[in-house]
Amino acid sequence: MQPFLLIGLSLLALWLVKQYVAWRRIISSVYNYPGLRVIFGPESFVFPFRIPYLAMGGMSLWTHKHKDFDTYNADIISSVNFWPTPKCTHFLADAEAIKEITSARHRFPKPLQQYKVLTFYGSNIVVTEADEWKRHRKISAPSFSERNNRLVWDESVRVVEELCHDVWSGKDVIELDNIVDLTVPVGHLISSHSDDFSEVLHAKMALFIIGVAGFGRRMSWKEEGTIPSGRSMTFKDALHIVSGNLALKVVFPTWLLKIAPFKIARKFNAAYIDLEQYMIQMVQERKIAEKKEERYDLFSSLLDANDVESDGTAKLSNSEVIGNIFVFLIAGHETTAHTLAYTFILLALYQDEQETLYQHIKNVIPDGHVASYEDMGKLSYCLAVFYETLRLFPPVNGIPKSSGEDTTLRTRNMAGESISVPCPAGTYLTIHTPALHYNPRYWEDPYAFKPARFMGDWPRDAFLPFSGGLRSCLGRRFSETEAVAILAYMIARFRVDVKDEPQFAKETFEQRKERLLKSMSAITLYPVRAPLVFKRR
């Protein structure tokens, strides 16, 4: 036994020496550029929070915001991790350097291995690069048209009208215990027939809109639905469960989801399979239809564009069509739904800002009228409130890139002096969205909720909730349209307050703000618990 133990310890010692040599070599390659030196890097699921020298912590991008950059006196800092493979990651909060990176796709490509988790149903525009990405974009981009945006607006209004007139009929005060129950990534599934307002406002509102504008499937608040032969649930329920629990697919392999003893895992796996079958059926029905109805949902538009051969460009395969529409689902449901939740929380906390928004809406839309898509340009303060929420709570905290060649980035210290940042080929780069959005160099009083900052000139290069450059989010206008339509309708008819709870009666405003805006991250950033009250005006 002793010889085997000795051999094992010797092999471990050799491995540690090899790792240490590689770790030191990487530090030397960037000339020991200032930053964090840790065992586990930010992508580690084991340590979500910062532990000095042990783990940077994935959540630290959100919790520390610009503090690390203040500590190291520069708007670009490094992190060199020891395990599992030593590597250097530069984190960027410098708008000029970020613009250089997002504008030069060939010099700073995506590290595609980090995006493999998004190939859920097939290859798509997010997980491709170079010519392959151009092919996906050429076919996908026309789907995000003005006609689709109008559809988004009309469906957003229809959904909130049905909510207010049918679901809340006869109710002047609607209380919710938690607006974001569905966003908790693991351990919670809400019944599709629940009347709980947290599901109604946050989950179903965004879900119904992406259902129509994304998939061409209209769903109702009171719809029961029938389950087709060979399926275990309706399309609505499959879409609901998969979109609300995507983190399960990221964390657990498929084989484990199939045999897991937890009901949520098995339910998610069944929903995942059913949703794929629904989408395959939709593709097939659309392709064999003798007369194709003119429709402007993303799914139909993508299929129509895919039917057209132009310039010799190869069409997308069925799995690529499904892969793209599923990525659009993630963007269209997760990000907008969570941001709307934050928006209502902020408006409940800052009543003066809510009143400013209410008066703005009244000035644009006469009492009793419903805003149309043509009114969107006039509802500038609605968009400003949405933007300020995105600035304070960016859905994605880190946007990964890499250096395709040996180069040097430029940044500045807090005194404004220029600094050279060595960036050898293979260096990982992360656009640190919270640090950029809370950088006092670009944003005055960055921790304050001030929507008016977006009503005049503002630093567009320092605002990246939708990423930047050619690879910025195709669905940006989709998200903005949905948000403005919902905010204009809801705030015109309801005042939003924080729900009073006896156990928090003595808390200060800052304590209440911290409690309601406490956040975690799964696919996107989300608030943990926020009890609100909606009072009919």
3-class DSSP state of 177: coil
DSSP state of 317: P
3-class DSSP state of 313: coil
Residue pLDDT, tens place only, 335-375: 888 899 999 999 999 999 999 999 999 999 988 899 999 99
Give Cα separations from 400 to 89, 111, 512 (angstroms).
9, 7, 34
Dist. CA 155–CA 506, nearest whole Å: 42
Short-list 293, 295, 282, 297, CA closest to 152: 297
What are the counts of helices (DSSP H) followed by strands (DSSP E) for the chain?
Answer: 20, 12
Report which of residues 19 and 241 the model is more confident about: 19
Q: What is the dihedral of CA 139, 142, 147, 149, to 10 degrees?
A: 100
Per DSSP, what are the bridge partners of residue 404?
A: none
Whether omega for the bond prior to residue 86 falls within 30 degrees of 0, making it cis, is no
3-state SS of 446-508?
CCCCCHHHHCCCCCHHHCCCCCCHHHCCCCHHHHHHHHHHHHHHHHHHEEEEECCCHHHCCCC
Report which of residues 2 and 141 the model is more confident about: 141
Q: How many CA atoms lie within 13 A of 382 on its CB side?
A: 28
Q: At what angle do helices 380-392 and 351-364 cross, to 10 degrees?
A: 150
Q: Is the torsion defined by CA of 34, 35, 37, 43 positive or negative?
A: negative
Q: What is the mean pLDDT of residues 21-30?
A: 96
Short-list 473, 186, 497, 146, CA closest to 349: 497
Got the DSSP string for 282-305?
HHHHHHH-SS-----SHHHHHHHH
Tokens (6 digits) for 435: 């640090």
CB-count burial class (<10 Å; 0-12, 13-18, 19+) for 138: middle
Q: What is the mean pLDDT of residues 278-288?
A: 81
473 is in an annotated binding site: yes
**How long is the chain?**
537
Tokens (6 digits) for 536: 């009919």
Q: 348 and 496 in contact (C-beta within 8 Å)?
A: yes
pTM: 0.90
Largest CA distance in the chain: 86
Residue pLDDT, tens place only, 72-102: 999 999 999 998 889 999 999 999 999 999 9
The pLDDT of residue 242 is 83
Contacts of 333 (CB under 8 A, 6+ apart): 206, 207, 210, 243
The pLDDT of residue 197 is 41
Dist. CA 510–CA 106, nearest whole Å: 45
Give Cα separations from 372 to 158, 295, 444, 493 (angstroms).
11, 20, 34, 16
Residue 313's pLDDT band (cuts 50, 70, 90) = low
What are the φ and ψ backbone dihedral angles of 80, each rounded to 5 degrees?
Answer: -115, 115
Q: Is the predicted pLDDT of residue 193 greater than 80, yes or no?
A: no
Q: What's the whole-number average pLDDT of the chain? A: 87
Q: What is the mean pLDDT of residues 152-173?
A: 90
DSSP state of 51: B
Q: What is the mean pLDDT of residues 192-213?
A: 56
- Tokens 């770790």: give the residue: 23
The pLDDT of residue 120 is 78
Q: 211 and 217 in contact (C-beta within 8 Å)?
A: yes
Helical H segments across 330-468, by residue range? 336-349, 351-364, 380-392, 433-437
Give Cα separations from 266 to 45, 229, 251, 257 (angstroms).
22, 20, 14, 6
Q: 89 and 420 in contact (C-beta within 8 Å)?
A: no
The pLDDT of residue 291 is 60
Dist. CA 134–CA 138, nearest whole Å: 6
Name the helix (H) or strand (E) containing 399.
Answer: strand 398-402
Q: Is the predicted pLDDT of residue 223 greater than 80, yes or no?
A: no
Tokens (6 digits) for 445: 């009083």
- How much of the chain, in percent, has pLDDT values that exceed 70? 91
Report which of residues 2 and 415 the model is more confident about: 415
Q: Is the predicted pLDDT of residue 53 greater than 80, yes or no?
A: yes
Contacts of 195 (CB under 8 A, 6+ apart): 167
Domain architecture of the chain: domains with CATH:
137-398+441-536 (1.10.630.10)
